[in-house]
Chain A
C-alpha cells in the first residue's frame, strides 16, 4: 500500500547553488503525481530529496521537512532505511551488468542479507509479473545477464528490481525518455496498474505522458513550484500564466 508525502519548506543546495526554494506540497497516496518543467528547473533534484539520494553528492545540502507516511525522513530515519521504502527508477536503465536477470531483481534483498531461497524465487516472479516482464524472461532468469535485454526490457527489469524490496513509494525520473514509443506505452500502462499499490512520483519532460498517467501535476520553474493541481486543471485551464506559457510551448 502506498503512503502520502508531505513536503514543507524544502530548500536544497548544490554547493552555493540554491536549486530548490521553499517547496511545499502534498503528494497523495496511491496516485501518480507528475512533475513537469523545463530543464534545470529542479524537479529531478526534488525527487532525489524524497529518497535522500540528493545527499550522495558531497556538496549537497537540504533544509526543511519531508514526511513520508508520517515519518520525518531527514530527522527520524537513516538514508538506507528510507531508500528501502522509497524506490527509484532512473532515466537510463541501469541493471547490474555482472548479474543475471534473477540476481538483478533479487539484488535489493540479497544485498541486505535476505537469502531465503524459495521466498526469493516467489518475490522475483511476483516483481517481474508486476513489471510486465515475466512472460518475456521466465525461461532465461538465471542464464541471461541483465544487460543483454533490450532498452525497454531493461527498464522494466529496473522497475521489477525496485518493486522487489516492496517499497511504499516509487520515484521515476523520466523513466521512458530513453525508450521507443512502444516501450514507453508499456511503461505507462504499467504505471497505471502500479498506482493502486504504490504512490508514484514521475518526473517527465513529456507533457502528454504526464497527462496520460498522472492525476496530479506539479509545474516547477527555476527551483520553485509554480503550480500544483489536478492534471485536468493544469492542462485545460492552468491558474498561473507561467504554467500556461510552458504547456502551450510558448517557452521552454
Chain B
C-alpha cells in the first residue's frame, strides 16, 4: 500500500478526535452526575476540562487543514477529514453545554430545593446515551448505528417541549418557584442541545461512511418522510 505517511496521519487525526470525544462525553456525564448528587467539586472538574476541550478543538482543526492542503485527499479520505472538522465543532459545543449545566447546578445550590414536574434525569440519560452511541458509531464506522441515533432525537425534543410547557405553568402559578423553574428549563434546554449535537455527529458519520447527506431529514414536513407519498 502506498501513501503510508498519509494513512498514518489520518489515523493520528482520528486518535486526536477520539481523545476530544472522550473529554466531551466525560464532561456531559460529570455534569449530569453533579446535578444528580449536587456535588460542586464535580462542577469544578467540568470547568477544568472545558479548557482542554477548547485547546483540542484548535489543534484538530489545524491538523485537518494541513491534511487538506498538503495531501489532496479524495473520496472517503476527503469525507473523513470533512467529518472530523464538523464533529470537532459539535464536540466543543457539547463541552459548552456540559459547562452550562454545571453552572446551573452551582446556581441551584443557592436556591431552596423544589419539586418540579420535569424528569431531568431521564432526559439526561437519553442525551448521554445518544452521545455515547454516536461516538461509538464513529469509532466503528457504523452507519446503521449512527442512523439509530437520529431516531432518538425526537424523544429528547418531545421531552424538552413538555418540560417547557410544565415549567412555564409552574412559573405562572407558583411564582416563588420561578428561579428554580427557570434553572430547570435551562438545563432541559442544554440537554436538548446536547442531543442535537449528537444527532449532527451521527449525520456526519453517515456522510463519511456512505457519502450520503442525511441532514435535516425532518425538513419542512415536520417529522414525516418527505419522500413518502400522501
Contact = CB atoms under 8 A, between A and B. Distances in A.
B interface, size bucket: 10 to 19
B76 to A, nearest CB: 6
A116 B84 CA distance: 64
Contacts, number: 35
Interface stretch (B41-49, B67-75, B105-113, B121-129): B67-75
B2 A244 contact: no
A118 interface: no
Interface stretch (A25-33, A132-140, A184-192, A230-238): A230-238
A58 interface: no
Given A207-B74, A208-B72, A249 B6 contact: yes
B56 interface: no
Contacts of A251: 1-2
Contact of A249 (B3, B79, B211): B3
B2 A236 contact: no
Interface centre among A207, A248, A251 (most CB of B within 10 A): A248
Q: Residue among B2, B74, B76 with the most chain A CB within 10 A?
A: B74
Interface in B203-230: 211
Interface centre among A208, A236, A238 (most CB of B within 10 A): A236
A109 interface: no
A207 B3 CA distance: 15
A248 B79 contact: no
A205 to B, nearest CB: 14
A236 B72 CA distance: 12
B3 A250 contact: yes
Contacts of B211: 236-237
A247 interface: yes
Interface centre among A244, A249, A251 (most CB of B within 10 A): A249
A249 B78 CA distance: 12
Contact of A250 (B1, B72, B79): B1
B77 interface: yes
Interface in B1-47: 1-3, 6
B70 to A, nearest CB: 13
Nearest to A247: B74
A231 to B, nearest CB: 11
Nearest to A244: B75
A236 B6 contact: no
Interface of B: 1-3, 6, 72-79, 211
Interface of A: 207-208, 235-238, 244, 247-251
8 contacts: A236-B75, A237-B211, A244-B75, A247-B74, A249-B6, A250-B2, A251-B1, A251-B2
Closest 5 pairs between A and B when the two form their complex, measured CB to CB: A237-B211, A249-B3, A247-B74, A248-B77, A244-B75
